[in-house]
Amino acid sequence: MAQSTQEILEGLAEIVNEETGIDTASVELDKSFTDDLDIDSLSMMTIVVNAEEKFNVRIPDDEVKNLKTVRDAVDFIAAAQG
């Protein structure tokens, strides 16, 4: 079953928090992973792997570079759950 944008955002925020210690309230749709949240590529890969498991989706490596903002990731997950 596809989840709502809010449910995906909350789940993603939990993953980001576990990996980086960033407060879940700081993980907002308009935030950039690198510029606003200061997430490096290694942490991003861990976040992607954990998101794949949590949301039961596949995020190809060549798509990861397109996930610049939290909204990009949420939209990708929502579409992948279809």
- CA 28 to chain CA centroid, Å, is 10
Q: Structural domains in the chain?
A: 5-81 (1.10.1200.10)
Cα 82 from Cα 69, distance rounded (Å): 20
The residue behind tokens 């955002």 is 9
Q: What is the pTM of this model?
A: 0.94
Per-residue pLDDT of the chain (82 residues; tens, 9 = 90+): 679 999 999 999 999 999 999 999 999 999 999 999 999 999 999 999 999 999 999 999 999 999 999 999 999 999 999 8
Q: Is 9 strand, coil or helix? A: helix
CB neighbour class for 36 (10 Å; exposed up to 12, middle 13-18, buried from 19): middle
Q: Could you list the active site residues?
A: 40
Pull the structure tokens for residue 66: 């397109």
